[in-house]
């Protein structure tokens, strides 16, 4: 049913239109498909609070755009603004939402009606069908059945064009809803504009936060009205309040189109108009749509697949589309063309880059390694933005939306900074970021303040004083998720040590490398799992390895015991050697999916997502365990990595509305798929290595940022032939179970020979394993 449902929703030209693959086939076997038309923005939208199949929305945007646009089926103030099973649409809104759990900010919406005017969101919603909905990354089109109106939008980075096609009507309307949370609208009939601002947010903003907008129409208005906080309409041209809006009306003939050019700015109304003139200017709707499509095609075509299975290609490019949205550009170009940004940290306008809408707890794992490999220039800009964040706010962000947000744990910014620097990304102030990393590592989270004196949450390390003295965060001192914090701090310490080594700070490199082994202090040899430990050294009691939360974050001991990316060999040593380690890995997939949810008092969606997919205790829908299938590479059983990664790709991902196994967090769950489909994955940051898995496609070409071409060929590849028989790189036999960043960026041909049965000799020697802090046990 999932594939059948997807058929109506897949964004390959709309109902009745030929797909991109069908078009390429008709043009000839060698014709290249339009990759942007393989993307399904509806992938992951069949989600809810109780169960996530992605928790995505169909984002109409350009890569890393400051703004996105999305249809709204629910309440605009809800994190679940668009859900696939909804029946009505009530607006198309500008959105900056990185996750339903973070919710949105600076949002406003446009909508079209005919007949008696309806203001309230619940009343104005129109029935629609996925059969009359066409969603692409670069445009969205939907038929609003109750009003006989077709609504379309096409984006730029900071602006968009709308096209509304009306029937014959004496009462045609376009509404601009400022949404609740502080808004102002002003109708400028002379210039055919609505201007104003919105201030809605869910935290992370200074007191002077505004998103200024301008909406410019190509039709004169016959009637103009605004509404107040109570939804009362008057002829007033200006309105300000908590939730206000404006409506302009027209007399239209059958098929008449009204165009609206919209732009916004976090800096000023003048900058919003400048963004409109700079990014759209005199372009018509089709020109804006074509430019957005070209922008997506340029980025997606950096990786080109040949001879793919159709559904896998759709999944791959849909996942890649998700990866190329966040972090969002939070900067603009001023009157002199210079890069400037409004700071969500000090409320001032500064020169330079700024990025936002990212949770590093998720994205350090694979998204940022992808940027370091394929987008080093962008990664450099992001690092420059982090320097600006630190200088303006006093801390590195761990979750920014748009400023500091109190979500998730750890000091994972260290991982992506060190990974960038170790892998050769330059052009930013590395010493300043190193200073920021050390500040995070040595300061407790206990209500620190930013440079304005405001309390800042989710920065520093909660329990740092315990961790730096005892080597772990104790279970019994009132700090929740203490074992997870210990593991994450140790991983970040490894990244700090790698950064220190690269900067020539040898004493720091040695100190933090030692701290990176602190995971050992929480390994309980009796149970064989990572376990909470009290301040006096005794173990957390009672201990239930199936208990979610408590000492862990959105997981249990069976998940977090593998969160030792910097030292899998050390974990192998603790668990009694390779064979026992492999048996324990196997057990994650074979144990029943039982759970203890008493810490939460309910079955959180991450638990349910593990329970229902028939993979035992393996919880791929959440990030802490996503790297686990690759750990067989360290234990002499890489063929088990090959089996499991192909099994996960086949069973848990598809280009359908239920196509993800859990939250698609800012590209991380997508990045797992993209890397795994290529045949390798970055288990540990700041090592410059990627663990080898099982490539999904027979032939892939990557245009590397060095100007070189990397071709990945998998001979005999098929859904049955998942096992690596042999590997060569540029014609030389390759027995290692890892690839290096330096080798990949220089391009060449990476060749796999695949088969239906494991080659248990390939990559099985201890010397073939990827990097670990610890040496193999004697």
Contact 275, 158 (CB under 8 A): yes
329 pLDDT more than 90: yes
DSSP secondary structure string, 48-98? Answer: -SS--S------B--TT-S-EEEEESS-TTSS----TT--EE-EEEEE--S
DSSP secondary structure string, 224-285? Answer: EEEE-TT--EES-SEEEESS-EEEEEEEE-TT-EEEEEEEEESS-HHHHHHHHHHHTTT--H
DSSP secondary structure string, 417-431? Answer: HHHHHHTT--SS-HH
Instruction: Establish if 611 belongs to a structural domain.
Output: no
pLDDT number for residue 46:
98
Contact 441, 414 (CB under 8 A): yes
Task: Give the containing element (helix H, strand E) for 584.
Answer: helix 578-590
Distance CA 614, CA 617 (A): 9
Contact 68, 155 (CB under 8 A): yes
pLDDT in tens, 636-672: 999 999 999 999 999 999 999 999 999 999 999 999 9
Tokens representing 639 are 């063929």
Distance CA 554, CA 480 (A): 12
Distance CA 134, CA 141 (A): 5
Contact 555, 625 (CB under 8 A): yes
Query: What percent of the chain lies above the pLDDT cut of 70?
Result: 94
Distance CA 23, CA 32 (A): 9
Instruction: Establish if 5 belongs to a structural domain.
Output: no
Tokens representing 60 are 């109409």
Phi first, then psi: give them for residue 737, nearest 5 degrees. -95, 25
CATH number for position 284: 2.70.98.10
pLDDT band for position 457 (50/70/90)? low
Instruction: Establish if 191 belongs to a structural domain.
Output: yes
pLDDT in tens, 38-70: 999 999 999 999 999 999 999 999 999 999 999
Q: What is the mean pLDDT of residues 272-296?
A: 98
Q: What is the mean pLDDT of residues 559-567?
A: 98
pLDDT number for residue 8:
29
pLDDT number for residue 23:
38
Interhelix angle 310-323/668-678, nearest 10 degrees: 130
Contact 257, 166 (CB under 8 A): yes
pLDDT in tens, 333-355: 999 999 999 999 999 999 999 99
Which SS3 state, helix, strand or coil, does residue 465 take? helix
Q: What is the mean pLDDT of residues 763-769?
A: 97
Distance CA 251, CA 166 (A): 10
361 pLDDT more than 50: yes
Task: Give the containing element (helix H, strand E) for 729.
Answer: strand 723-729
308 pLDDT more than 80: no
710 pLDDT more than 70: yes
Total Cβ atoms within 10 A of residue 428: 22
Distance CA 443, CA 432 (A): 16
pLDDT number for residue 24:
37
Measured CA distances, 645 to 589, 601, 672 (Å): 12, 33, 10
Q: What is the mean pLDDT of residues 216-225?
A: 97
Distance CA 327, CA 356 (A): 5
Distance CA 530, CA 309 (A): 41
pLDDT number for residue 2:
33
Instruction: Establish if 447 belongs to a structural domain.
Output: no
Task: Give the containing element (helix H, strand E) for 441.
Answer: helix 430-442
pLDDT number for residue 498:
98
Distance CA 521, CA 515 (A): 11
Q: What is the mean pLDDT of the chain?
A: 94
Q: Which of 462, 340, 339, 466 is nearest to 398 (CA)?
A: 462
CA dihedral (701, 702, 704, 705) in degrees, to 10, reads 130
Strand 709-715 relative to strand 748-755, pairing: parallel
690 pLDDT more than 50: yes
pLDDT in tens, 467-487: 999 999 999 999 999 999 999
Contact 320, 182 (CB under 8 A): no
Which SS3 state, helix, strand or coil, does residue 529 take? strand
pLDDT band for position 445 (50/70/90)? low
Which SS3 state, helix, strand or coil, does residue 558 take? helix
pLDDT band for position 374 (50/70/90)? very high
Tokens representing 339 are 């890069």
Contact 24, 33 (CB under 8 A): yes
pLDDT number for residue 775:
84
Tokens representing 330 are 């939070």
Q: Which of 745, 749, 750, 751 is nearest to 708 (CA)?
A: 745
Q: What residues are paired with 197 via a beta bridge?
A: 184, 212
Residues 6+ away with beta carbon under 8 Å from 388 = 341, 343, 350, 352, 353, 354
Residues 6+ away with beta carbon under 8 Å from 679 = 692, 693, 694, 695, 696, 712, 714, 750, 752
Query: Largest Cα–Cα distance in the chain?
Result: 86
Contact 718, 739 (CB under 8 A): no
Distance CA 637, CA 755 (A): 16
Tokens representing 54 are 């992605």
Tokens representing 725 are 């028989």
Domain count, the chain: 1
Tokens representing 170 are 């004496």
Distance CA 264, CA 717 (A): 48
614 pLDDT more than 90: yes
Residues 6+ away with beta carbon under 8 Å from 290 = none
Instruction: Establish if 282 belongs to a structural domain.
Output: yes
Q: Which domain holds residue 154?
A: 57-300
**CA 152-154-159 angle, 5° bins:** 125
Total Cβ atoms within 10 A of residue 273: 18
Contact 486, 519 (CB under 8 A): yes
Instruction: Establish if 602 belongs to a structural domain.
Output: no
CA dihedral (732, 737, 741, 744) in degrees, to 10, reads 40
Q: What is the mean pLDDT of residues 552-579?
A: 98
Contact 538, 590 (CB under 8 A): no
Instruction: Establish if 68 belongs to a structural domain.
Output: yes
Alpha helices in 76-154, H assignment, sequence order: 121-124
Instruction: Establish if 149 belongs to a structural domain.
Output: yes
pLDDT band for position 271 (50/70/90)? very high
Sign of the C-alpha dihedral computed for residues 625, 626, 629 and 635 taken in this order: negative
Distance CA 14, CA 10 (A): 8
Task: Give the containing element (helix H, strand E) for 726.
Answer: strand 723-729
Residues 6+ away with beta carbon under 8 Å from 126 = 88, 89, 90, 113, 144, 145, 146, 147, 149
Task: Give the containing element (helix H, strand E) for 329.
Answer: strand 328-329
């Amino acid at each position: 049913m999932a594939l059948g449902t997807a058929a109506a929703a897949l964004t390959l030209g709309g109902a009745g239109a030929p797909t991109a693959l069908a078009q390429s086939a008709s043009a000839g076997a060698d014709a290249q498909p339009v990759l942007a038309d393989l993307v399904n923005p509806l992938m992951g939208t069949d989600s809810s609070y109780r169960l996530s199949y992605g928790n995505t929305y169909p984002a109409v945007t350009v890569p890393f755009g400051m703004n996105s646009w999305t249809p709204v089926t629910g309440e605009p103030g809800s994190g679940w603004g668009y859900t696939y099973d909804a029946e009505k649409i009530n607006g198309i809104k500008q959105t900056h939402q990185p996750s339903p759990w973070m919710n949105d900010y600076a949002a406003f919406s446009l909508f079209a009606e005919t007949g008696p005017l309806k203001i309230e969101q619940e009343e104005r919603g129109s029935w629609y069908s996925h059969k009359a909905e066409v969603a692409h990354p670069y445009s969205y089109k939907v038929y609003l059945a109750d009003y006989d109106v077709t609504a379309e939008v096409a984006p730029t980075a900071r602006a968009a064009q709308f096209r509304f096609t009306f029937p014959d009507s004496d009462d045609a309307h376009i509404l601009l809803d400022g949404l609740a949370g502080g808004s102002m609208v002003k109708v400028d009939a002379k210039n055919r504009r609505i201007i104003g601002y919105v201030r809605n947010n869910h935290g992370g903003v200074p007191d002077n936060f505004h998103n200024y907008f301008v909406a410019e129409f190509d039709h004169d208005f016959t009637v103009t009205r605004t509404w107040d906080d109570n939804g009362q309409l008057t002829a007033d041209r200006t309105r300000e309040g908590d939730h206000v809006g404006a409506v302009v009306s027209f007399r239209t003939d059958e098929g008449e189109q009204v165009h609206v050019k919209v732009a916004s700015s976090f800096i000023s109304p003048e900058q919003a108009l400048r963004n409109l003139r700079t990014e759209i200017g005199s372009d018509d709707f089709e020109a804006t749509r074509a430019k957005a499509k070209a922008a997506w095609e340029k980025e997606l075509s950096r990786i080109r697949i040949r001879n793919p299975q159709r559904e896998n290609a759709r999944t791959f490019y849909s996942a890649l589309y998700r990866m190329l949205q966040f972090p969002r550009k939070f900067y603009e170009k001023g009157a002199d063309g210079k890069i400037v940004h409004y700071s969500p940290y000090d409320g001032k306008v500064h020169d330079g880059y700024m990025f936002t809408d990212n949770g590093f707890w998720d994205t350090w794992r694979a998204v940022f390694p992808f940027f370091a490999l394929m987008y080093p220039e962008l990664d450099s800009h992001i690092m420059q933005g982090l320097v600006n964040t630190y200088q303006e706010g006093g801390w590195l962000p761990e979750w920014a939306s748009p400023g500091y947000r109190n979500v998730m744990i750890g000091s994972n910014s260290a991982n992506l900074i060190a990974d960038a620097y170790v892998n050769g990304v330059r052009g930013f102030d590395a010493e300043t970021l190193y200073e920021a990393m050390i500040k995070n590592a040595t300061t407790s989270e206990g209500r620190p303040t930013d440079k304005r004196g405001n309390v800042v949450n989710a920065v520093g390390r909660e329990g740092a004083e315990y961790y730096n003295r005892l080597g772990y965060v104790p279970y019994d001192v009132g700090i929740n998720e203490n074992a997870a914090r210990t593991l994450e701090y140790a991983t970040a310490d490894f990244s700090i040590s790698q950064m220190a080594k690269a900067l020539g700070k040898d004493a720091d490199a040695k100190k933090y490398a030692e701290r990176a082994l602190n995971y050992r202090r929480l390994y309980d040899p009796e149970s064989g799992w990572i376990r909470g430990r009290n301040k006096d050294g005794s173990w957390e009691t009672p201990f239930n390895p199936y208990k979610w939360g408590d000492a862990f974050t959105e997981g249990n001991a069976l998940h977090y015991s593998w969160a030792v990316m910097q030292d899998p060999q050390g974990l192998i040593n603790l668990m009694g050697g390779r064979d026992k380690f492999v048996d324990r890995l196997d057990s994650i997939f074979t144990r029943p999916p039982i759970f203890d949810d008493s810490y939460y008092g309910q079955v959180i969606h991450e638990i349910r997502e593990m329970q229902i997919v028939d993979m035992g205790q393996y919880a791929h829908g959440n990030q802490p365990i996503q790297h686990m299938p690759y750990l067989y590479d360290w234990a002499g059983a890489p063929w088990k990595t090959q089996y499991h990664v192909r099994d996960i790709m086949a069973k848990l991902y598809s280009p359908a509305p239920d196509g993800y196994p859990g939250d698609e967090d800012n590209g991380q769950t997508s990045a797992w798929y993209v890397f795994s489909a290529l045949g390798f994955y970055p288990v540990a940051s700041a090592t410059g290595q990627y663990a080898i898995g099982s490539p999904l496609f027979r032939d892939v070409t990557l245009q590397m940022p060095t100007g070189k071409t990397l071709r990945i060929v998998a001979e005999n590849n098929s859904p049955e032939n998942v096992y690596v028989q042999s590997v060569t790189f540029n014609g030389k036999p390759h027995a290692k179970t890892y690839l290096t960043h330096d080798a990949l960026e220089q391009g060449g041909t990476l060749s796999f020979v695949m088969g239906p049965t494991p080659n248990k000799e390939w990559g099985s020697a201890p010397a073939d394993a990827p990097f670990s802090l610890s040496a193999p046990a004697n």
